[in-house]
């Protein structure tokens, strides 16, 4: 895979995860969203690329950089999963819903998701930092280090 394709994939990863943050923020505010949250790190667009054997990324950027990228990506999706579980649960109208009202229950869920969202913001910054670092590393490498498509 060529240098420019790898740099573009890392840039797309940044944009994708920033978009997911925007989607989560909208969900927490109670807005309807058309985007879905992908909580599986292997199924998001970046994950499909990152974990593909075809990109040879690990051998190009080195195992330590790759491991750090994988670690931060995994942490990000773990936090995202917590929020998704809270916001996607549609409970039956039980005793608590009847007691406090379903609007209040939804508000409580959004508030709880908001707390996790604050943690996810930190994880996002860490992921973006590693992506930028990987981009700088790749950008500094000589083109001869990359496989020609």
Written in H, E and C, the secondary structure of the chain is CCHHHHHHHHHHHHHHHHHHHHHHHHHHCCCCCCCCCCCCCCCCHHHHHHCCHHHCHHHHHCHHHHHHHHHHHHHHHHHHHHHHHHHHCCCCCCHHHHHHCHHHHHHHHHHHHHHHHHHHHHHHHHHHHHHHHHHHHHHHCCHHHCCCC
pLDDT number for residue 2 = 84
- Kindly give, in sequence order, each residue whose CB lies less than 8 Å from that of residue 102, ignoring residues fewer than 6 positions away: 93
| Residue with more model confidence, 55 or 65 | 65
pLDDT number for residue 47 = 92
Say whether pLDDT at 129 is over 60. Answer: yes
For residue 104, what pLDDT band results from cuts at 50, 70 and 90? confident
Question: Which residue pairs from 38-42 have beta carbons closer than 8 angstroms and sit at least 24 positions apart in sequence?
Answer: 38/77, 39/77, 39/80, 39/81, 39/84, 40/77, 41/73, 41/74, 41/76, 41/77
Q: Which of 106, 89, 84 is nearest to 97 (CA)?
A: 106
CA distance 45 to 10: 11
φ/ψ (deg, to 5) at 88: -95, -10
pLDDT number for residue 49 = 87
Say whether pLDDT at 99 is over 70. Answer: no
pLDDT number for residue 89 = 59
Mean pLDDT throughout 29-44?
88
Say whether pLDDT at 96 is over 70. Answer: no
For residue 5, what pLDDT band results from cuts at 50, 70 and 90? confident
Mean pLDDT throughout 126-142?
92
Mean pLDDT throughout 36-51?
89
pLDDT number for residue 90 = 53
């Amino acid at each position: 895979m060529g240098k420019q394709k790898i740099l573009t994939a890392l840039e797309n990863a940044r944009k994708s995860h920033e978009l997911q943050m925007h989607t989560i923020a909208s969900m927490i505010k109670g807005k309807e969203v058309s985007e879905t949250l992908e909580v599986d790190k292997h199924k998001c667009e970046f994950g499909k690329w990152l974990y593909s054997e075809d990109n040879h990324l690990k051998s190009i950027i080195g195992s330590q950089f790759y491991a750090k990228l994988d670690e931060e990506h995994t942490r990000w999706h773990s936090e995202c999963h917590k929020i998704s579980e809270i916001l996607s649960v549609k409970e039956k109208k039980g005793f608590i819903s009847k007691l406090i009202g379903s609007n209040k229950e939804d508000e409580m869920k959004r508030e709880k998701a908001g707390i996790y969202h604050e943690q996810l913001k930190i994880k996002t910054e860490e992921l973006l930092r590693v992506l930028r670092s990987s981009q700088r590393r790749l950008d500094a490498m000589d083109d001869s280090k990359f496989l020609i498509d």
